């Protein structure tokens, strides 16, 4: 049985040994929805949202293998698929759920309940932070898992 990590020991790390994690390389990935989604409100406008936790299963052929190795591979790499609940953006949630292979149901709420453990394809794209000091990977366009590995138009 693996010994549980002692997170308090991380505080004994020398500051010179601490580095900002590298973002996942841009490209397509196969993801699995982990657990039930989180719900909440945005801090600025108080817009309600639903956020799905996604775990990377596989990198697509368009992902730079050297960059992927440099950032430590995809093991334990996760991202969020966040959807704001407004009339103008609800279609994005509907598309995501369809890409997860969920058939249209009586409501989006009912469809959300079926998302756990579904697989979906999705692109990571790089964005600059608000202060321009760093780059991070963000989930962009998604697509059906059965199309993973096929040439897609990245977003």
Six token digits for residue 13: 């790390």
- Residue ranges of domains in the chain: 23-147
* 48, 41 contact by CB (below 8 A): yes
Quick: pLDDT tens for 108-150: 999 999 999 999 999 999 998 888 888 889 999 999 999 998 7
**pLDDT score of 78 more than 70:** yes
How far apart CA 101 and CA 118 sit, in angstroms, is 7
Average pLDDT (89-93) is 96
pLDDT, averaged across the chain? 90
The domain made up of 23-147 is a member of CATH 2.40.50: yes
pLDDT band at 152 (very low <50, low <70, confident <90, very high): low
**What pLDDT was estimated at residue 155?**
47
* 25, 68 contact by CB (below 8 A): yes
Tell me the CB-side half-sphere exposure of residue 92, using CA atoms within 13 A: 17
pTM of the model: 0.84
Among the listed residues 115, 112, 120, the one whose alpha carbon sits nearest the alpha carbon of residue 48: 112
């Amino acid at each position: 049985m693996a010994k549980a990590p002692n997170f308090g020991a991380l505080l004994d790390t020398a500051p010179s040994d601490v580095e900002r994690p590298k973002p996942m390389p841009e490209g397509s990935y196969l993801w699995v929805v982990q657990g039930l989604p989180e719900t909440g409100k945005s801090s600025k406008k108080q817009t309600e949202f639903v956020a799905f936790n996604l775990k990377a299963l596989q990198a697509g052929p368009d992902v730079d293998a050297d960059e992927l190795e440099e950032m430590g591979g995809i093991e334990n790499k996760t991202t969020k698929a966040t959807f704001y609940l407004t009339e103008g953006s609800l279609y994005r949630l509907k598309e995501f759920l369809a890409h997860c292979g969920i058939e249209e149901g009586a409501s989006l709420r009912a469809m959300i309940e079926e998302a756990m453990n579904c697989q979906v394809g999705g692109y990571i794209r790089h964005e600059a932070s608000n202060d321009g000091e760093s780059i991070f990977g963000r989930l962009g366009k998604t697509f059906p898992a059965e199309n993973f590995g096929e040439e897609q138009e990245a977003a």
